[in-house]
A and B are shown apart, each in its own frame.
Chain A
Amino acid sequence: MRLEYFQMVDRITSLDVPGGKIATACLVPEQSPVFEGHFPGYPILPGVLLIETMAQTGGWLILATQHCAKMPFLMQVEKAKMRAFVSPGQPLEVEATLLHEGSGYAVVKATIVSGGKKVTEAEIRYGVVPFPNETLKVAMLETARRVGLPEEFCNGA
């Protein structure tokens, strides 16, 4: 994870597009300016970044489903629960399941587990729209390869 660049997902560890499931691995960095403010003397990963981590994981599932032809943008977070603190250096296992693929929108349920314990969960809704420009499309394809999205799911952009 590179928190300052909003690179939350390190790599995709499993992907089942027909089954609507994905898992990713994310390692919380030992050091980040984020921890200087959140909180002084007691560094924990902000809950909004846990939500972002789940949103990005679900986003990769939707991108794979769309063969990277459309971009999911976060629109709504429901039933988010922060069950435990997440500290610097902690590995996270993130899972997302597609609940519904609508026309122009999608809904996933996501969870984060660390050390066998569920730390957070949420239902996340996205607007799924054509890429607004070429720069973003190129950047997303580069990131797709970095996180290990199989090439067969990158061919629709």
Chain B
Amino acid sequence: MASTYETVSGIISDTCDIEPDKITPESHAINDLGIDSLDFLDVAFAIDKAFGIKMPLEQWTQDVNAGTVTTDEYFVLKNLCANIDKLVAAKA
């Protein structure tokens, strides 16, 4: 069974047409990989479907706008995967 990171990096590679070797756990989806909001919508949809979750993107956006967290918390892939794992665990 693929790890969360393998699944997410595969989704990003396929959806955003990014070479797999350019994606690392340290990559920031926006700053490093250049994923824009429209492409991120595709990524979010694919992640929601793949893991059977509903990523709370609105809450995350509010957190970032409020300055309580940086974008790194949600958009650096290793952190994104950790958040996905929490959502999957909460669902179980």
Contacts and interface: CB of A to CB of B under 8 A. Distances in A.
A32 to B, nearest CB: 31
B91 interface: no
A107 B45 contact: yes
Contacts of A104: 57-58, 61
A76 B38 CA distance: 8
Nearest to A78: B42
A90 to B, nearest CB: 33
B57 A103 contact: yes
B48 A102 contact: yes
B68 interface: no
A83 interface: no
A96 to B, nearest CB: 17
A127 B44 CA distance: 12
Given A107-B45, A125-B45, A102 B38 contact: no
B44 A105 contact: yes
Among B42, B45, B54, max chain A CB count under 10 A is at: B45
A76 B49 CA distance: 17
Contacts of A102: 44-45, 48, 54-55, 57
Contact of A105 (B41, B49, B56, B59): B41
A100 interface: yes
Interface in A62-108: 75-76, 100-105, 107
B45 A105 contact: yes
Contacts of B61: 104
A52 B55 CA distance: 28
Contacts of B57: 102-105
Nearest to A70: B58
Contacts of A125: 41, 45
A75 B38 CA distance: 7
Return the 5 tightest CB-CB contacts between A and B, nearest first: A103-B57, A104-B58, A103-B58, A104-B57, A103-B56
Interface of A: 75-76, 100-105, 107, 125, 127
Given A100-B49, A103-B58, A127-B41, 12 more contacts: A75-B41, A76-B42, A100-B48, A101-B54, A102-B57, A103-B54, A103-B56, A104-B58, A105-B41, A105-B45, A107-B45, A125-B45
